[in-house]
Structure 1
Amino acid sequence: MSILASLAKAYDRLPNVPPFGFSTEKIGFVISLNEDGSVASVTDLRDGTGKKKVPRLMQVPASFKRPGTTPRPFFLWDNTAFVLGVSATEGKDAQRRQNAFRDAHRRILSGVSDPGLRALSRFLDGWSPDLFASPLWPDEMKDQNLVFAMERERRQHVYLHDRPAARDLWSEIAAKWKEVPGKEAGEGVCLVTGNFGPIARTHAAIKGVWGAQTAGASIVSFNEEAYESYGHIQGDNAPVSEAAAFKYATALNAFLADDRHRIQIGDASTVFWADASDAQVAEAAESFFNAWFASQPDEGIEAGKVGDALGRMRRGIPLKDIEPKLAEGVRFYVLGLAPNAARLSIRFWLEDDFGRLAGNYARFVSDMAIEPPPRDGYPPLWRYLAETAVLGKRENVPPNLAGEWMRAILTGTPYPLTLLATVLMRIRADGEINALRAGMLRALLVRNFKREKEAPVALDIKNKDPAYLLGRLFAALERMQEVALGTVKASIRDKFYGAASATPQRVFPLLLRLHQHHRDKAEKGDKPRLAGYFANQIAEIMVELPPTFPATLSLLDQGKFALGYYHQFYRRKADQDLEETLEEAAQ
């Protein structure tokens, strides 16, 4: 099923979404009118205090894109530049916009009998931007979105666009309201539904994608002649009906605004949803997926049924043995979106059975297993991605890496090789070899290169691979330096790790000469037994190495080197226990 068809189908199952012709918008204020069109009150609808006030979300007649120089107002609501002709931004041409709002509503509302709509028409006839003054009109109202209400209905939260007469009128004019003269929509066969009907010339903006324009961006759009063909204009080049365009955009915006259906993977704003005959089963699948990759663990989920099942999955128990209803009969969809100027880029799109996704996730967990494990247990995917970024900042994650990795995780295919090069580059740059980076390197070695024996979960003293042994040797040499000199500003890892992992033949002879100096100093110090312990480790590793050090190590071998280093260096718990035992014996 295509992306648009899947989203249009999801719309029919979503609760509390706007009906056809409406959209959910941020509304800041309501203007209450008397029947003669005079203003009874102006009410702030925002929640919060001070500069942190948040507009209220409200279903209103649908908004649409307003490119070009011709101002086009929304029906029965808009920002203060259109409704009142006032704005806090100079050069916004507020008077021209207010004229467009007034003239369009005059034309549509002429001859209506509904008291509320007649009151709005009278208000517009008598309004002038010069009347905007405190205390009735607060300055913080400028550029906020406004709606109207009759004063007697405002306290019941009934607004002008909610009145039956307004809804009936909107259902008649909605298709024509947003059209530009000379660019009226035509009819044709919808690519999504296959039905014949009015074709959407422009599609609603998609809002909430990280890094995209705040006003929204498009998935489907044709705005230049170079992209058009056979004389078609805009949306006629990829005909999607008004109803289907509304459904897919509304569903996608709802998912992007809901943390239960949205996670951030690098620069990809990722939404997901399930399709099942039982709504509760679909919700359970969505909760599972959210728990797999969520940025912040939900304490309620972690402590509840989903958290318990998730823990069992991570221990290798198949989903069919945990939640049989989720293993079969649940179709799952995952869509990754990233900003691309005024449009959106599809980072990845996946449609599969949820049971297969669960199996691929379990395989990912197995690939990433490392001892000692990360301090936080099972970190979210963004924490791993942060390890590939300069300064650990999300915005510095290499482009496309997040999407490619997410696709590999969900499909069970090999991980992107750029991940291997990026992790090794970050290790050489900052000298940090932690559980997250070691886990990624092991996963790449296991899945991409089938080196399970050479990439163990924990320290393997029987592993004879030269690269793995060299990493262990480097870690043991660094531990000897710690015993001899204590904490230093620049350890051998800071000075020599990059060169040692790439060209061991040039560096290790020097390190072994330094080691002899460190060993002599350590044995003469206050921890001679600990020095002897690490000296034995070094000797045991050296015995297994070939007679000559390799001249160079490939990226693959550099990954093994880092893994060996991590396993050897972070057996610190055993080393610390030994150190305490030796100190007690000395006393």
Structure 2
Amino acid sequence: MILLGLKEYYDRKAAIGEIAPDGWIGGGIDFLLELDRDGRLRDIADLREGTGKKKQPRPFQLPNIGNQALKHTNSGTDANLLWDNAKFVLGLGPKGDLHLRSMIDAIDQWLGSTDDVGVAAVRAFLEQGLEDRCHFQLALEHPEYGELLGTGSVRVSFRVMETPYPIVFQSPVVASALEREEEGADESATATCLITGEQNVAVAVTHPVIKGVRGAQSAGASIVSFNEEVFTSYAKKQSLNAPVSKRAASQYTKALNILLESKQRLIAGDMSIVYWAEKESDFESEFSALFEEPPKDNPDEGTEKIKALLQSVHSGAYVEDSGNTRFYIVGLSPNMARISIRLWQIATVSEFASRIRQYFEDFAIAKPTKEPEYYSVWRILVNIAAQDKSENIPPNLAGEFMRSILEGTPYPETLLQAALRRIRSDTEYRVKPVRAALIKGYLNRYLRFYPSQSYKEVGRVLDTHQTSIGYHLGRLFAVLEKIQEEANPGINTTIRERFYGAACTTPVTVFPNLLRLKNHHLAKLDRKGRVVSFEKLLVETMGKLNKFPAHLNLQEQGMFAVGYYHQRQDLFTSKKAEATDSIDSETMIKEEEGA
């Protein structure tokens, strides 16, 4: 189903000219060497576009013989057909002769003896350079382009004077040769294609490689391959065990390689995620913005798209896609010389939009104004990784997190464990807004799938009616910390640094002592109204607790973190409101004393 989906994407893009046809590959050419019919260089044409140092090669559909990649190996014998970098075309470097011979061999192998004037002129040009390198001096000493050609990095092809086609590789004989290669096959390598269902078609013994998967071999890797006898059956070798026609193999790999090079790719840990729609859809172009970290120079880039998604249930966005348009998501991870399929999801656009909208709603929480309105997957994961470093993100966790978002299933328990571990180890910040949002999202989604009378859904802001003991213990800890901070302005180390870990796991060992200490801290406060406010808050919070538990399980530890965060946010939400409360409390005390 994955390969079929990729082939359909190829068909869709090829129909509008956005993917090169079979046997061809998208690429750029910097210069054309203009030859006469005898293979002598007459001029050099600069095809680059743009100005100054920003000039870019002109894009073309280039002959892709044998589906080889644009990058070369170290062999020096893998020249492209009628185009390549200047090292091959002009025989530069210690392997110059090898490069030139490879260019000639490619012409002989793929085009054979042909009466095409342009091809013959190019072959003559290369032969003359192989015999006498001075033949190339006109190009290398060119006053304008000689220095660039001498670097060997620019891409070069040929134009032959008085031929009907502008570039030699656009000759009909080249197109015919590539078409024959795509359709040709050994009679013993024919079968029914598993992708298209075509019978007696040429089967790809080995499939073209996939490039662009993060962490995979730079030379490319395969998603369909058989290299050990234990993987084979009925004496079939290599990919004949899973017969796919040469044409279909070329098309699905071309589609996947293009997706991996495009903006339709996301990185989650060690997983490269690509996606596409059955037909043109706004969701296809906006999908990345829903998950990626926005650029530093434009932090609000994806905010509007996320807001539109959240409002789509009311605005009607994506409704026209809801019935028929399928959306495909594939997650790929490196596995030595192969690529593993870690994620494969098919649903309609509206189904995915609904699941992603739920994800953002899960993570909605009250936060300081300086915080991003929505958190990217990367920001969430990096804030629960050791030392807040992206290289420490557990690779499997990233994949499972994305899977749960896209499937609409409970988030992995390892996500909660990682968040709680990071909170306990991060003595300076503890419960950051992003960590509180993650824990809230985990708990609410878990409760949706596994309802419990012991808990109620966690809200965006402080909830004094929450039924969780851990939640109110977290609130109590936040109040005690605030009292300590106000009693000791400028204090370097609070109970957060010293006691948070024990308070959220074994409350009975910590809270009795902290409650004794708070009496000392309250006595140091000058404003009586503030003391009254704190005592009221303590009474209200402790009224939710019958006793201090000996131990909190993971869920209650998560509730503790969210309760602590909510109470801290409530205490610091508005200084003006806080001052008003103090004035009212002092007025109340005076009235009571007067009575």
Which residue number corresponds to residue 99 of structure 1? 101
Alignment partner of 1:9: what SS?
Answer: helix
| Range moving further from structure 2, 561-570 or 187-196 | 187-196
Q: Provide closer, same or farther for how the CA distance between residues 359 and 153 of structure 1 changes in structure 2, counting only shifts above 3 A.
A: farther
| Range moving further from structure 2, 127-136 or 193-202 | 127-136
Which residue number corresponds to residue 168 of structure 1? 176
Q: Distance in 2 between matches of 1:432 and 1:210?
A: 32
In 1, are the aligned partners of 2:111 and 2:177 still within 8 Å (CA)?
Answer: no
Alpha-carbon shift at residue 18 of structure 1 (Å): 0.3
Which residue number corresponds to residue 159 of structure 1? 167
Alpha-carbon shift at residue 162 of structure 1 (Å): 1.9
Q: Provide closer, same or farther for how the CA distance between residues 363 and 302 of structure 1 changes in structure 2, counting only shifts above 3 A.
A: closer
Normalising by structure 1, we get a TM-score of 0.84
Q: Which runs of 5+ in 2 are unaligned?
A: 587-595
Letter matched to residue 167 of structure 2: Y
Normalising by structure 2, we get a TM-score of 0.83
Q: Report Cα offsets for 1:500-553 as digits up to 9, x if no partner.
A: 2112222223323332333233x14xx554344234322322232223x21221
Q: Distance in 2 between matches of 1:226 and 1:293?
A: 40
In 2, are the aligned partners of 1:114 and 1:165 still within 8 Å (CA)?
Answer: yes
Alignment partner of 1:568: what SS?
Answer: helix
| Range moving further from structure 2, 64-73 or 53-62 | 64-73
CA RMSD of aligned residues (A): 3.5
Q: Provide closer, same or farther for how the CA distance between residues 68 and 161 of structure 1 changes in structure 2, counting only shifts above 3 A.
A: same
Q: Distance in 1 between matches of 2:173 and 2:270?
A: 45
Which residue number corresponds to residue 440 of structure 2? 442
| Range moving further from structure 2, 140-149 or 549-558 | 140-149
Q: Distance in 2 between matches of 1:33 and 1:332?
A: 49
Which residue number corresponds to residue 81 of structure 2? 75
Tell me, yes or no, if structure 1 residue 221 matches structure 2 residue 225: yes
Tell me, yes or no, if structure 1 residue 242 matches structure 2 residue 240: no
Letter matched to residue 558 of structure 2: G
Alpha-carbon shift at residue 127 of structure 1 (Å): 1.6
Which residue number corresponds to residue 485 of structure 1? 488
Letter matched to residue 420 of structure 2: L
Which residue number corresponds to residue 275 of structure 2? 272
In 2, are the aligned partners of 1:37 and 1:120 still within 8 Å (CA)?
Answer: yes
Alignment partner of 1:467: what SS?
Answer: helix
In 1, are the aligned partners of 2:79 and 2:102 still within 8 Å (CA)?
Answer: yes
Aligned counterpart for 2:373 among listed residues 352, 366, 377 = 377
In 2, are the aligned partners of 1:47 and 1:55 still within 8 Å (CA)?
Answer: no
Alpha-carbon shift at residue 189 of structure 1 (Å): 1.4
Q: Provide closer, same or farther for how the CA distance between residues 364 and 103 of structure 1 changes in structure 2, counting only shifts above 3 A.
A: closer
Which residue number corresponds to residue 534 of structure 2? 534
Alignment partner of 2:375: what SS?
Answer: coil
Which residue number corresponds to residue 350 of structure 1? 345
Alignment partner of 1:58: what SS?
Answer: strand
In 2, are the aligned partners of 1:479 and 1:534 still within 8 Å (CA)?
Answer: no
Aligned counterpart for 1:337 among listed residues 321, 332, 335 = 332
In 1, are the aligned partners of 2:37 and 2:161 still within 8 Å (CA)?
Answer: no
Larger radius of gyration: 2
Alpha-carbon shift at residue 330 of structure 1 (Å): 1.6
Question: 1:391-430 counterparts in 2 under 5 A?
Answer: 391-430=387-426
* Count of residues paired in the alignment: 559
Q: Report Cα offsets for 1:353-393 as digits up to 9, x if no partner.
A: 22222222232233223234773222232222222223433
Alpha-carbon shift at residue 554 of structure 1 (Å): 1.3
Alpha-carbon shift at residue 438 of structure 1 (Å): 1.3
Alignment partner of 1:332: what SS?
Answer: strand
Question: 1:550-565 counterparts in 2 under 5 A?
Answer: 550-565=549-564
Letter matched to residue 542 of structure 1: M
Q: Distance in 2 between matches of 1:362 and 1:153?
A: 61
Q: Provide closer, same or farther for how the CA distance between residues 57 and 487 of structure 1 changes in structure 2, counting only shifts above 3 A.
A: farther
Alpha-carbon shift at residue 46 of structure 1 (Å): 7.7
Q: Distance in 2 between matches of 1:535 and 1:135?
A: 88
Tell me, yes or no, if structure 1 residue 150 matches structure 2 residue 159: yes
Letter matched to residue 84 of structure 2: D
In 2, are the aligned partners of 1:192 and 1:244 still within 8 Å (CA)?
Answer: yes
Q: Distance in 2 between matches of 1:152 and 1:257?
A: 36
| Range moving further from structure 2, 69-78 or 160-169 | 69-78
In 1, are the aligned partners of 2:456 and 2:467 still within 8 Å (CA)?
Answer: no
